[in-house]
């Protein structure tokens, strides 16, 4: 869940996802079999508007499974990377700023997306990818910041 999901009506979002048979991972994860190994997909509750608990989220993680953490806001990656179990954090929230000026970047970014506003970053020993998303907020405009759907191929390291 993101901050707007929680502020608007989290139950409608949960119901819609449930009807589509998509699991809602709020401070929990799921081990996925990938070939002869496992990958742990962990969903953290929204850092800004929810009640995130990284330890609870990773409590059922198999010992040798790489962790992909879904965390709506990207900037808390500085803290999450210190845990050592998370290999990749996938975030959104920023919309890339929606408006990007040449040589200056985004003039306005949302709280908790000031540092890692879009793209791929290395944060300590963890990777972070912040997706620009498809939508807008407040001002219904995008300038020099195209909507994005990202395909990420995970390979063993």
Helix (H, G, I), strand (E, B) or coil at 40: strand
How are beta strands 37-43 and 86-91 bridged, if at all?
Answer: unpaired
With a CB cutoff of 8 Å and minimum separation 6, the contacts of 152 are 88, 90, 129
pLDDT of residue 139: 85
Check whether 153 has a pLDDT greater than 90: yes
CB atoms within 10 A of CB 140: 8
Q: What is the pLDDT of residues 59-85, one digit of tens each?
A: 999 999 999 999 999 999 999 999 999
Residue ranges per structural domain of the chain:
3-130
pLDDT of residue 5: 87
Query: pTM of the predicted model, to two decimals?
Result: 0.94
With a CB cutoff of 8 Å and minimum separation 6, the contacts of 43 are 24, 25, 26, 27, 28, 29, 57, 69, 70
Check whether 123 has a pLDDT greater than 90: yes
How are beta strands 28-34 and 86-91 bridged, if at all?
Answer: unpaired
Beta strands in 12-94 (DSSP E): 28-34, 37-43, 67-70, 86-91
What is the percent of the chain with per-residue pLDDT over 70, rounded to a whole number? 99
CB atoms within 10 A of CB 117: 22
CA–CA distance, 147 with 27 (Å, rounded to integer):
28
Question: Which fold does the domain 3-130 belong to in CATH?
Answer: Purple Acid Phosphatase; chain A, domain 2 (3.60.21)
Check whether 152 has a pLDDT greater than 90: yes
Check whether 31 has a pLDDT greater than 90: yes
What is the percent of the chain with per-residue pLDDT over 90, rounded to a whole number? 88
Q: What is the pLDDT of residues 133-142, one digit of tens each?
A: 999 988 899 9
């Amino acid at each position: 869940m993101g901050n707007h999901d929680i502020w608007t009506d989290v139950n409608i979002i949960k119901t819609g996802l449930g009807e589509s048979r998509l699991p809602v991972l709020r401070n929990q994860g799921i081990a996925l079999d990938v070939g002869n190994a496992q990958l742990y997909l962990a969903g953290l509750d929204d850092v800004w508007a929810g009640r995130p608990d990284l330890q609870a989220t990773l409590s059922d993680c198999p010992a040798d499974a790489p962790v992909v953490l879904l965390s709506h806001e990207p900037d808390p990656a500085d803290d999450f990377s210190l845990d050592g179990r998370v290999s990749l954090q996938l975030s959104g929230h920023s919309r890339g700023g929606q408006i990007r000026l040449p040589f200056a970047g985004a003039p306005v970014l949302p709280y908790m997306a000031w540092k890692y506003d879009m793209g791929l970053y290395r944060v300590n020993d963890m990777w972070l990818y912040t997706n620009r998303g498809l939508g807008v907020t407040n001002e219904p405009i995008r300038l020099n910041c195209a909507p994005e759907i990202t395909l990420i191929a995970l390979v063993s390291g």
